[in-house]
């Protein structure tokens, strides 16, 4: 099957054409960094307006790149949440209009399912069940991925997401926006010599916490005794430590899995990938991480999640609602803070 995927939940507008045999016929993406940079973060109104302007031309370009028309597409998959509601609406309404006009089914994709299944797009050998560390701008979770639409959340953050911690740290250190790549570059020039906490490391509860680490970065920066690069390196080392500690704990709870997998924007970080790869081999597990461009937001992962859902017979009515909040595991208990 050939799926048109659309993504617009945050500050990337994207369209892609993906087949169920894992061919990415086209993927187009427009970032909005320059528009948001003056504000030091994503401004929802600016994002929504940019999605309106960019999405249609990107879809046209992707169809042209792939050498297909809407009539060749078997289904339209659009992100329906979670995310900034204005942007989600733009992509979902566009997807509905195209599906209706072409007489094709609509697939309302959970953006997190896009991240969660993206490793199966890049790695044809990745089978269920796998343990997934989903680390992105809005989420930090350990999920047992049992199948398409079958997720069991083992842990989440009780305050900030991992990517959010990178972004806030970049802001404090004056490294700019977007923060994750900037912190990684600075960290490569520094040494992890600044004492910083590892919140919840070794805790019997399964969850993550990064708010205290960010506060400690603020104090270290205010002390004016450390180089920015050394704080960045120390911060990154602390995040990696926490991610590994919590993942080790989850491996003990997950039962038998085929692989340790990482996805989401923070999975583009080399220190994170290297540490997880080491952990996997220590446990005799395969390690799977998508290529960097597939870790951060894109429409290929939405098209692929659409392809997986389409194969499972999961399509949606044209009146399906956009959902600003939409947990992958609806059965998971609420925890303190914002984590879902």
Q: Which residue is at the shortest CB distance from ligand ATP?
A: 265
Q: Closest separation between CB of residue 297 and Fe ion, Å?
A: 4
297 is in an annotated binding site: yes
135 is in an annotated binding site: yes
Contact of residue 207 among ligand ATP, Mg ion, Fe ion, none (CB under 5-8 Å per partner type): none
User: How many CA atoms lie less than 13 Å away from 164 in the CB half-sphere?
Assistant: 17
DSSP for 154-186, please give it: EE-BSS--HHHHHHHHHHHTT--SSHHHHHHHH
CB 273 within 8 A of CB 245: no
Q: Distance between CA atoms of 336 and 340, rounded to whole angstroms?
A: 10
How many residues are given for the chain? 340
Closest among 131, 49, 111 to 325, alpha carbons compared: 111
CB 162 within 8 A of CB 246: no
Distances 321 to 48, 57, 81, 110, 339 between C-alpha atoms, Å: 17, 24, 9, 12, 22
Q: Does the protein bind ligand ATP through residue 166 (CB under 6 A)?
A: yes
Contact of residue 184 among Mg ion, ligand ATP, Fe ion, none (CB under 5-8 Å per partner type): ligand ATP
330: DSSP letter:
T
Residue 75 tokens, joined: 């289904």
Q: How many residues bind ligand ATP (CB under 6 A)?
A: 25
Q: Closest separation between CB of residue 166 and Mg ion, Å?
A: 12
Choosing from 31, 176, 181, 337, the residue that interacts with ligand ATP (CB under 6 A) is 181
- Of 95 and 178, which has the nearer Cβ to ligand ATP? 178
Give the x/- contact pattern for Fe ion in 133-152, rule: CB under 5 A: ---x----------------
CB 281 within 8 A of CB 287: yes
Q: Closest separation between CB of residue 94 and ligand ATP, Å?
A: 18
134 is in an annotated binding site: yes
Contact of residue 269 among Mg ion, Fe ion, ligand ATP, none (CB under 5-8 Å per partner type): ligand ATP
Q: Does the protein bind ligand ATP through residue 316 (CB under 6 A)?
A: no
Task: Please give the annotated binding residues, written as ranges.
Answer: 111, 115, 134-138, 167, 180, 184, 269, 297
Residues annotated within a binding site for substrate = 134-138, 167, 180, 184, 269
Residue numbers belonging to the annotated binding site for Fe cation: 111, 115, 297
């Amino acid at each position: 099957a050939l799926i048109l995927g659309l993504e617009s939940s945050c500050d990337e507008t994207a369209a892609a054409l993906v087949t169920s045999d894992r061919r990415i016929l086209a993927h187009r993406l427009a970032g909005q960094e320059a528009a948001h940079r003056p504000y030091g973060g994503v401004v929802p109104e600016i994002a929504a307006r940019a999605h309106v302007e960019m999405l249609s031309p990107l879809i046209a370009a992707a169809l042209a790149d792939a050498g297909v028309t809407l009539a060749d597409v078997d289904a339209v998959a659009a992100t329906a949440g979670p995310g900034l509601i204005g942007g989600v609406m733009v992509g979902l309404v566009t997807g509905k209009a195209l599906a209706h006009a072409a007489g094709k089914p609509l697939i309302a994709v959970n953006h997190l399912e896009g991240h969660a299944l993206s490793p199966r797009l890049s790695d044809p050998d990745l089978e269920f069940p796998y343990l997934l560390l989903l680390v992105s701008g809005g989420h930090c979770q350990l999920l047992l991925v049992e199948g398409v639409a079958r997720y069991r959340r083992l842990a989440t953050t009780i305050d900030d997401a991992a990517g959010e911690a990178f972004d806030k740290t970049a802001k404090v250190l004056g490294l700019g926006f977007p923060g994750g790549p900037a912190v990684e570059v600075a960290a490569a020039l520094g040494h992890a010599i600044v004492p910083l906490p590892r919140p919840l490391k070794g805790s019997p509860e399964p969850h993550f916490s990064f708010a205290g680490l960010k506060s400690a970065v603020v104090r270290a920066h205010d002390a004016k005794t450390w180089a920015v690069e050394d704080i960045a390196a120390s911060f990154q080392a602390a995040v990696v430590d926490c991610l590994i500690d919590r993942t080790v704990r989850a491996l003990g709870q997950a039962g038998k899995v085929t692989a340790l997998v990482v996805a989401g924007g923070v999975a583009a970080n080399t220190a994170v990938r290297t540490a997880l790869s080491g952990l996997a081999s220590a446990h005799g597990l395969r390690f799977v991480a998508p290529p960097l461009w597939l870790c951060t937001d894109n429409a290929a992962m939405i098209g692929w999640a659409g392809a997986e859902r389409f194969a499972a017979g999961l399509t949606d009515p044209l009146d399906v609602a956009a959902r600003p909040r939409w947990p992958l595991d609806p059965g998971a208990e609420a925890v303190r803070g914002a984590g879902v």
